[in-house]
Amino acid sequence: MEKDKRDVKIVDLFCGVGGLTCGLAKSGLNVVAGLDNDGSCQYAYEANNKAKFIQADVSSFDSHEITKLYGNSDIKILVGCAPCQTFSKQTNKYKERIHDKKWTLLQSFTAHINNVKPDIISMENVPELTNFDVFDEFKSNLEKQGYYVSYKIVDCSTYGLPQKRRRLVLLASKFGSIELIEPSKRLKKRTVKDVLKDLPPISYGESDSKDPLHRSADLSELNVRRMKQSKPGGTWKDWDASLILECHKKKSGQTYSSVYGRMEWDKPSPTMTTQFYIYGTGRYGHPEQNRALSLREGAILQTFPKNYKFIKKGEAPLFKHVGRQIGNAVPVDLGKIIGETIQKHLKHFNFQ
């Protein structure tokens, strides 16, 4: 059957600094614009991607304006990852969740879908989202609108990402069944060493002269002593008793074994959070050097290209801002896998 070549365009809601957009572009898809209410993401998004950044609150943005972004394209694709902290297992109290404005963002995504009527949809989020009615409502609405829907909870490391990160990926299409491609059986798991071994060594509080993003946060004298006694894959129980925090000596603190930990060279990293650059918030100590991860290392573990620009030339990176942008991002290579799934789907229907 002869191919019916179609013009395909994508709009990325909640785009952040462009992790998903970059991954989709790597798969050969055309992302024309990204929307996010955080204006600090604009530079990184536009400096690295051939797409327009629109600073906007997705919950109040006019769906008609989204439709206009597609122009005369034959196939419209709408993708997005609504801010997920609300649904994360780290948010313990139900009442805190339902009073969080972010709770309704998935409903805003639904409203745009109903108005824009895209042909294909991708939604990425934390696995815990499936425990809430808002997810069932999102999925049910898609089915009522005539979409074929599938979703899967994946460990990104099984797809070759150098990070153990469990994510929910939902796909929907008007054309027919669509499911996330399976990881290749021949795929080798990538480790921390595979992606970080060639970066220049730096000390805590220092940055690489050639890359200002390869910068590690400063450490107190006490945390330097703790770091020196930390073993890759070990816990704070490896320290001298005088270095252990009082809260960890209590029974309730015994379960927090990964805080103040070092990563291991020969394994994927733990999940990158928005505070991966802080030694005490998880297993974010460098496997060998006495410091926490640098911003660049966190970005690489999130599979951003090594030359991905997060700040303008001459600017100094702010840990809190850039760390949040990196930790909140959809890993680029997961975006690429989603893109490859969509490409395979389009080819199945002879649209590519």
Residues annotated catalytic, as ranges? 84
CA atoms within 13 A on the CB side of 241: 1
Residue 34, SS3 per DSSP:
strand
CA angle 98, 100, 102 (to 5 degrees): 110
With a CB cutoff of 8 Å and minimum separation 6, the contacts of 244 are 236, 237
CB 216 within 8 A of CB 291: yes
Report the run of H or E that residue 77 belongs to, with start and end: strand 75-80
127-148 exposure pattern, b = at least 16 Cβ within 10 A, e = fewer: bbbeebebbeebbebbeeeebb
**CA dist., res. 141 & res. 228, Å (int):** 54
**CA dist., res. 8 & res. 26, Å (int):** 15
